[in-house]
Structure 1
């Protein structure tokens, strides 16, 4: 059976992707317990669990690339594609940033509130909503082991934005019609990145002591796109899954540059698991709490540590943080993310106006007449 056939059987997005996103989000919280409680997670990455820890974020990006490629294929123009990406990502990020700055920071700062809100560092933190990331707020968590860090997880945001830039460029070059372009990009990017690292770091070019480099996360995103576009050629096979999983383990355990070698196998493992269709739990039907857990997990962990001994044990910190971040994730989904998704008709209306305007300017009467609100005519 091919990946595309498996997708058709699922009749929509397979539930495996929903479970996978939640599991990966929760794993991010648990991985961060060492950093929060001990101020150093390096020992985590030097254990035999390294392949599993290092796989979490790349799997997130592969998953995103696969699903976003489907959204790209269904989009008529970049207006709807980027518009839908914006309303899915930005509102929740903006709310998290403002809650961290105005509520969490105000509670945990060691400064007087007048000094806190007047500090330039406070204003710099608000710039996180643009993707220009700052990790600290004035006087907040300064006595924690990971001193001064409010939300380390935001480091991936610029790379997520770069992924959308990359896929938008591929769209303009016609990647949906000429899918070989996705292969060229997915192969060329890690080669180019490896050359740049060698030029900058010499003999240490392949040393990645902790999490995978952000640039390689983009490569994982591209591999997700490749698998989606070639879903009619790539088989969904348990034996291939076993081989891919073994290649990931061997790459991380037995080579110093496993971050490069593991990516193809990791991409297949991610999509294989994602297009499985286990029954969906009632509490997850019509909801996606993964983004909220991802956004709120680290600030909650830092707050738990600052509040006293209960949050200063790694196990209890992780357990409590998962529970509380799930609560905030539910808030984020029901009051921010889901309402924002109701703006999709607005995005489609703006796109229709853009297509008509373009048709009028270019004198393309046939396109102008064919377009109706919610129409399906594609203009590349």
Structure 2
């Protein structure tokens, strides 16, 4: 039996493919509200509507903590994180405001400018542009995916803070924090704490910490048929409760990382990561399809995917990949995480 640490090769894995699949599932989920539909069956709604973003956060927790431990330098760390998220995010805002909205909704004015300026700091303050999109099932929101990036960056800052205090040297740090996030998620789910920010913070923090915890215990996490099937069974069973993460946060983090570690087929071990571009451009692409009058979920998903991929590919090659070349080189020696 091999551990996840022995199975996962940082330089040869299928995480880009896994992230791409997760991004496509987000397109599938958004195709319901953007065509005026919903998934009434709660377990299926959780599976389709939440696994995609939760999987992204789990993978981020695994990789970002690994990145800090490899090179605990706050300046290089922040530079790398900012260059990965911000340039493509800013370009997406500009494309939405000055290309998509004018061409599709016919709006061009001060609101196009404020849409970019007010949202440039990752926190989304303005979702519409002069009231548009209008006449579609989901009005007043051009990009309903971007709001999660603020929470993602807060997780990055949390890792940096823990690292600066030397707390990531101990495996139990993320374990204790995971327990706190789990308690917070239980409290918000039960209504003991009735606050949107607390609920979202608990959700994203729990999934990010699940990935971080899997990384810190990767040398003791066994990967075999029993652990994979067991994690899948827990995941499917957890969908029956109101917040599946209370039981399945760690199984989801384990499953996405195992999937990434075991996909090594050259065609699937994608060297180019277009998942971020798919994630940030899919929603405005879907609103374009909605403006065309498409009200069928499956057709929306297919057409929006076809429209999104060229934008995502352009984002990767023209913005994301060049920006990532600006990151400072990191030293190779990796500090060992203590076992206590």
Could you state the TM-score of these two structures normalised by the residue count of structure 2?
A: 0.89
Which stretch of structure 1 is more off in the superposition, 321-330 or 72-81?
A: 72-81
- Tell me, which stretches of 5 or more residues in structure 1 are unaligned? 206-211, 349-373
Relative to structure 1, the CA distance from residue 48 to residue 338 in structure 2 (aligned partners, 3 Å threshold; closer, same or farther) is closer
Alignment correspondent of 1:315: 298
Kindly indicate whether the alpha-carbon contact (under 8 Å) linking 2:92 and 2:280 is maintained by their aligned counterparts in 1. Answer: yes
SS of match in other structure, 1:21: helix
Relative to structure 1, the CA distance from residue 375 to residue 315 in structure 2 (aligned partners, 3 Å threshold; closer, same or farther) is closer
Alignment correspondent of 1:290: 275
Matches within 5 A, 1:117-156: 117-119=109-111, 122-133=113-124, 134-156=126-148
Alignment correspondent of 2:56: 60
- Distance in 1 (CA, whole Å) between partners of 2:63 and 2:332 is 22
Please tell me the root mean square deviation across aligned C-alpha atoms, in Å: 2.5
Relative to structure 1, the CA distance from residue 286 to residue 84 in structure 2 (aligned partners, 3 Å threshold; closer, same or farther) is same
Kindly indicate whether the alpha-carbon contact (under 8 Å) linking 2:178 and 2:210 is maintained by their aligned counterparts in 1. Answer: yes
SS of match in other structure, 1:273: helix
Residue 249 (structure 2) aligned to one of 260, 263, 267: 263
SS of match in other structure, 1:176: helix
- Distance in 2 (CA, whole Å) between partners of 1:173 and 1:53 is 36
Alignment correspondent of 1:21: 19
Alignment correspondent of 2:187: 195
Cα deviation, 1:203-242, whole Å, max 9, x if unaligned, reads xx9xxxxxx9453122111111111111111111221111
1:48 to partner: Cα distance: 3.9
- Bigger share in helix: 1
Relative to structure 1, the CA distance from residue 46 to residue 193 in structure 2 (aligned partners, 3 Å threshold; closer, same or farther) is closer
Cα deviation, 1:13-57, whole Å, max 9, x if unaligned, reads 44221211010011111111111111x4353x5364643543221
Kindly indicate whether the alpha-carbon contact (under 8 Å) linking 2:174 and 2:213 is maintained by their aligned counterparts in 1. Answer: yes
Relative to structure 1, the CA distance from residue 377 to residue 199 in structure 2 (aligned partners, 3 Å threshold; closer, same or farther) is closer
1:107 matches 2:103: yes
Could you state the TM-score of these two structures normalised by the residue count of structure 1?
A: 0.80
* Structure number with bigger Rg: 1
1:110 to partner: Cα distance: 4.8
1:191 to partner: Cα distance: 1.0
- Tell me, which stretches of 5 or more residues in structure 2 are unaligned? 336-340
- Distance in 2 (CA, whole Å) between partners of 1:163 and 1:239 is 31
Which stretch of structure 1 is more off in the superposition, 49-58 or 66-75?
A: 49-58
- Distance in 2 (CA, whole Å) between partners of 1:23 and 1:89 is 19
Residue 167 (structure 2) aligned to one of 172, 175, 180: 175
- Distance in 2 (CA, whole Å) between partners of 1:126 and 1:36 is 26
Higher normalized contact order (CA 8 Å, seq sep 6+, divided by chain length): 2
Alignment correspondent of 1:3: 4
The size of the alignment, in residue pairs, is: 330
Kindly indicate whether the alpha-carbon contact (under 8 Å) linking 1:144 and 1:306 is maintained by their aligned counterparts in 2. Answer: yes
1:175 to partner: Cα distance: 3.2
Matches within 5 A, 1:363-374: none
Which stretch of structure 1 is more off in the superposition, 212-221 or 100-109?
A: 212-221
SS of match in other structure, 1:149: coil
Relative to structure 1, the CA distance from residue 56 to residue 377 in structure 2 (aligned partners, 3 Å threshold; closer, same or farther) is closer
